[in-house]
Amino acid sequence: MSSTTHSNDFDFFITDLNGNQRGKRLPGPSFKKIMKEGMKLPRSVVGLDIWGDDCAGNGLVFETGDSDGICMPVSGSLTPVPWAKRPHEQALAMMFNPDGSPFLADPRQILADVVARYEAKGITAVAATELEFYLMDISSEAKQRPQPPVLTHGHGREISTVDAYSITELDGLADFFADVREACAIQGIPADTIISELGPGQFEINLNHINDPLLVADQAILFKRLVKGVARKHELAASFMAKPYMDQSGNGFHVHFSLLDENGDNIFNNGAPEGTDTLRHAIGGLMTCMADSMLVFAPNLNSYRRFQKGAHAPTYASWGYENRTVALRVPESPNVARRIEHRVSGADANPYLVLASILSGALHGIENKIEPPAPVEGDAYSAFDDGRALPNTWDSAISAMESSDLIKTNMGDEFVRVFAAAKRQEQDAINARISDVEYESYLGVL
DSSP secondary structure, 379-427, as one string: -GGGS--STTBPP-SHHHHHHHHHT-HHHHHHH-HHHHHHHHHHHHHHH
Label residue 2 by pLDDT band (50, 70, 90): very low
- pLDDT per residue over 52-72, tens digit each? 999 988 989 888 877 999 999
162-166, 235-239, 258-262 — most confident range: 258-262
Mean pLDDT, range 20-36, rounded to an integer: 91
Residue 162: pLDDT over 60: no
Residue 255: pLDDT over 90: yes
Total count of residues recorded for the chain: 446
What gap in Å lies between CA 58 and CA 422, rounded to an integer?
7
User: In this predicted structure, what is the pLDDT of residue 165?
Assistant: 54
Residue 152: pLDDT over 70: no
Longest Cα–Cα distance in the chain? 71
Q: Is-contact 298 306, C-beta < 8 A?
A: yes
Closest-CA residue to 252 (of 341, 167, 323) = 341
What gap in Å lies between CA 442 and CA 85, rounded to an integer?
48
pLDDT higher for 53 or 388? 53
Q: What's the angle, vertex CA 46, arms to CA 44 and CA 47, rounded to 5?
A: 70
pLDDT higher for 226 or 1? 226
| pLDDT-wise least confident of 66-70, 262-266, 356-360 | 66-70
pLDDT higher for 213 or 148? 213
Mean pLDDT, range 194-215, rounded to an integer: 88
pLDDT > 70 in the chain, percent = 90
Residue 282: pLDDT over 80: yes
What gap in Å lies between CA 106 and CA 94, rounded to an integer?
7
User: In this predicted structure, what is the pLDDT of residue 365?
Assistant: 98
Label residue 4 by pLDDT band (50, 70, 90): very low
What gap in Å lies between CA 64 and CA 56, rounded to an integer?
11
Closest-CA residue to 174 (of 230, 229, 131) = 230
| pLDDT-wise least confident of 13-22, 158-167, 313-322, 346-355 | 158-167
Residue 388: pLDDT over 90: no
Beta carbons within 10 angstroms of residue 67's beta carbon? 14
Residue 37: pLDDT over 60: yes
- pLDDT per residue over 108-120, tens digit each? 999 999 999 999 9
Mean pLDDT, range 286-310, rounded to an integer: 94
User: In this predicted structure, what is the pLDDT of residue 156?
Assistant: 40
Q: DSSP character for 439?
A: I
CA distances from 291 to 76, 237, 285, 296, 390 (A): 36, 33, 11, 10, 5
Label residue 44 by pLDDT band (50, 70, 90): very high
What is the average pLDDT score of the chain? 90
Q: What's the angle, vertex CA 439, arms to CA 435 and CA 442, rounded to 5?
A: 125
User: In this predicted structure, what is the pLDDT of residue 217?
Assistant: 98
Label residue 31 by pLDDT band (50, 70, 90): confident
Residue 155: pLDDT over 50: no
Mean pLDDT, range 91-103, rounded to an integer: 96
Label residue 3 by pLDDT band (50, 70, 90): very low
What gap in Å lies between CA 368 and CA 388, rounded to an integer?
20
For 39, residues 6+ apart whose C-beta sits below 8 A from its C-beta are: 12, 23, 24, 26, 70, 71, 93
Domains located in the chain, CATH noted: 10-97 (3.10.20.70), 117-411 (3.30.590.10)
pLDDT higher for 139 or 77? 77
